[in-house]
Structure 1
Amino acid sequence: MDFDWLNTFLEVARQKSFSRAAERLHVTQPSISAQIRALETYLGHRLLDRGGGKVTLTAAGRVFQPFAEQSLIQLKHIRLTLEDMERMPRGTLTISANDSTALYVLPLLITKFKKQYPRVSLNIIRAERSKTIALVLDREVEFGIVSLPIRDPRLHIEVIHEDKLVLVVPAGHALTQLKTVTLSDAAKYGFLVPKEGRRRELIDHLFVQNKTARRITMELDSSELLKRLIVAGLGISFMPRINFLEEIKAGLVQAIEVEGVNIPRDLGIISLHSVPLARAASAFFTFATGTTRPDPGTDAIDVGEELEDESALAIGTPPPRTKSS
């Protein structure tokens, strides 16, 4: 059924005349008659009585009139909603990130994004790095935010946050009295380390690479608990500086530069290269990166291509600054 038929029917009913309705709608009278016939044929009922020199509604026409009016109102509402979506994205996005990123990086980003796009709902899944990558590859989340570098031709990768790991010690720790701190100096004290994940890999590699032994006093699966234990004076660790900004300002801990040690901890937003972004997802990507992610093309890399061995990537290698494709 054509919506124009409904508009024509209602105008004829209001004007009680085919000719006046034609004038109002700026069409010919035969066109009005053809549309009414088509509508009546479609419904299988006569809607207008044309006898007696005027046009009146039949019983079926009186029943049909409010439905026609409501249908046109709904059509207008749908059009306005779709136009509004073009101006203001809406929908739901799901993002996966580890505890540290979810607690210290995402809140500021999400707060600013929601001010600009209040109709987009964001769900956050807290998962460690490998799980986050798997969720993106399995299309269970639109985006993951993970530490770099990462190489996978199935993923589009953009840097969104640059940071580094620093040695964090409790206030008044003996290391704070040294003018210069070496890795050997730090290794004399008990380390608190994550049980697994990219940060644990970076810390382990650092000591192996420098042929320095260190004493692990505790392995933890929570970055927040690890942080609290450092503040309580129960150990030291290499941690992202952003995690301790408030504690450093309050004098509860101190971030120490270790001579010859540079551990970048840049974060990237990852998405499945072969899947186009919906409007809300595209808005978030552009907001987070300042760039527009190109739609997947016919030249996308075969997902079966052999992946680069991450273990071969040297600690401190600068992360990619452009998409991985």
Structure 2
Amino acid sequence: MALNFHQLHIFYTVAEKGSFSAAAQALHMTQPAVTMQVQSLEDYFGTKLLLRSTKRIELTEAGKVLMPYAQKSIELIKNTDQAMATFTQQLKGKLLLGSSLTIGEYILPRLLGPFGQEYPHITISMKVINTTQIMEEILNHQLNFGLIEAPVNHPDMHMEPVMNDELKLVVPKGHPLAGRDNVSMEEALNYPFVLREQGSGTRIVMEEQLRMQNIDPSRMKIVMELGSTGAVKSAVEAGFGISVISSSAVKHEVALGLIHVVPLSDMVFKRHFYSIYLKSSLLPISAVTFLSFLRERDLRQWL
């Protein structure tokens, strides 16, 4: 019997989760199948790797020695997939991903065309939902991975930056700040704001940057809080207030002269977009290929 990577992956997940049932759920397998694979690995090495108790699984001394090698094997497979993604033009498969609102509505639609031309046999199915929903569906194995606008902390999730973005101050046509070469944030605070709702990625990044510049976000005269970037744009265009939103989201309105981007002289709202997926799962090669496309291409040519 040869050493099996699949068994190493299962062993590592059981040890990480602390139980066969939790590992089975994370791996989308039955508990007996997980148990059988671990037993086969123990038979291969001729020693017990896990101590089974009523409370929690514990590693034997042999299991403790094996753990870092199992982890390295998983990382090696991930790195191998990433390295080979460049050569997978004939790859076939369906990619299920979730995207938060700004990314899904304004960023990815401009990138899916070029990606589809390069990888015509990969079919992408995208859900535009909020970050909480994305995480829930990944945990339930309904999505391969997600793209979100602000970092999150979850013990079962791997997160890494894949794209950059910048938020800009935007004002309606005819506004006193329209046409200015630049304006300070202090001056902008004299005008009413229309913002995304509390907890949105855009709002979190903006408020964190304000605090870093010793500006209390509560000083903003907020007249509306809206649940989508599209609604914010419409409110700004109608003259209800000014806003801070992704520059990628207002290209059309700026081109038509309906909204103006005003450079800030004293502040830059830069941020990352992040990919998230389960630590216990290996992404399909189609997902690795798509993430490599986002990380390695000069996306500005399409955005």
Residue in 2 aligned with 1:101?
103
- Tell me which of 254, 258, 262 is aligned to 1:252: 258
CA offset at residue 279 of structure 1?
Answer: 2.9
| Count of residues in correspondence between the two structures | 206
Tell me the amino acid that sits aligned with residue 277 of structure 1: L
Instruction: Give the AA of the match of 1:262.
Output: V
**Match of residue 215 from structure 2:** 210
Task: Say if 2:163 and 2:295, in contact at 8 Å, map to a contact too.
Answer: no
* In structure 1, distance between residues paired with 2:194 and 2:220: 11
SS in 2 for 1:233: coil
Give the corresponding residue for 2:145: 143
What residue identity is the alignment partner of 1:268?
Y
Kept after mapping to 2: 8 A contact 1:191/1:235: yes
Distance 1:221 1:106, change over 3 A: same
Other-structure match for 1:267? 273
Deviation at 1:170, TM superposition (A): 0.9
Q: What RMSD over aligned residues (CA atoms) do the two structures have, in Å?
A: 2.4
Query: Which residue among 202, 209, 218 is the counterpart of 1:199?
Result: 202
- Partner of 2:191, secondary structure, is coil
Could you tell me the TM-score, scaled by structure 1's length? 0.57
- Distance (whole Å) between structure 1 residues aligned to residue 267 and residue 164 of structure 2: 17
Return the offset for 1:156: 3.4
Matched with 2:243 is: 237
| Runs of 5+ consecutive residues of structure 2 not aligned to the other structure | 1-87, 298-303
Matched, 1:132 2:134: yes
Q: Give me the whole-angstrom Cα distance separating, in 1, the residues matched to 2:116 and 2:261.
A: 32
After superposition, the C-alpha distances for 1:20-53 in whole angstroms (9 at most, x for unaligned) are xxxxxxxxxxxxxxxxxxxxxxxxxxxxxxxxxx
TM-score (structure 2 length as normaliser): 0.61
Q: Distance in 2 between matches of 1:281 and 1:161?
A: 15
CA displacement at 1:122 relative to structure 2: 1.2
1:118 is aligned to 2:124:
no
Query: Do 1:207 and 1:214's aligned partners in 2 also have CA atoms closer than 8 Å?
Result: no
Change (3 A) 1:279 1:201: closer
The aligned counterpart of 2:171 is 169
Aligned partners of 1:158 and 1:289 also within 8 Å: no
Between the aligned partners of 1:179 and 1:280, the Cα distance in structure 2 is 44
Kept in 1, the 8 Å contact 2:205–2:271? The answer is no
| Deviates most, 152-161 or 215-224 | 152-161
Separation in structure 2 between the aligned mates of residue 113 and residue 218 of structure 1, nearest angstrom: 37
